[in-house]
Amino acid sequence: MNNKDQTDWFQDIETIVSQPLNFKAKLAIGEEAYTALKLKNTVVQAWDVAGVATTAAVVAKSSVVASTFFAPTGFLAAIGIGTAVTPIGWVIAAGVVTGGAWFGITRHLKKASASRVTVIPNFINTPLDVLALGLFDLLVPLALKVAATEGVVDESKRNRVFTYFVEEWGYDPGFVDAGLTYIESILDELSIPELAQTLAKFASENPDCNFRMMSQEILEFLRKIVDVDGKIDARDEQAIADIKAIFSSANRFSLKKKLRAGWKSVRQKTGGIFSRGR
Among candidate residues 152, 135, 235, 142, the one with its CA nearest the CA of residue 191 = 142
Q: What is the mean pLDDT of residues 127-146?
A: 87
Contact indicator for 96, 69 with CB cutoff of 8 Å: yes
pLDDT of 174-214, one tens digit each? 999 999 999 999 999 888 888 888 777 766 666 656 677 77
Beta bridge partners of 17: 171
- Rounded to whole angstroms, how far apart are CA atoms 31 and 34? 5
For 130, phi then psi, to 5°, come to -65, -40
Say if residue 61's pLDDT is above 60.
Answer: no
Q: What is the dihedral of CA 81, 87, 92, 95, to 10 degrees?
A: 120
Say if residue 78's pLDDT is above 80.
Answer: no
- Rounded to whole angstroms, how far apart are CA atoms 133 and 140? 10
Among candidate residues 95, 123, 92, the one with its CA nearest the CA of residue 28 = 92
Among candidate residues 102, 84, 96, the one with its CA nearest the CA of residue 194 = 102
Contact indicator for 84, 128 with CB cutoff of 8 Å: no
pLDDT of 148-173, one tens digit each? 887 888 899 999 999 999 999 999 99
- Could you tell me which residue, 1 or 60, shows the higher pLDDT? 60
Say which amino acid occupies 73: T
- Rounded to whole angstroms, how far apart are CA atoms 46 and 146? 30
pLDDT of 208-247, one tens digit each? 566 777 788 889 989 988 888 777 888 888 989 999 999 8
Listed in sequence order, the residues at least 6 apart from 151 whose beta carbon sits closer than 8 Å to its beta carbon are none
- Rounded to whole angstroms, how far apart are CA atoms 26 and 235? 30
- Report the predicted TM-score, pTM, of the whole model to 2 decimal places: 0.78
Sign of CA dihedral 235, 236, 238, 243: positive
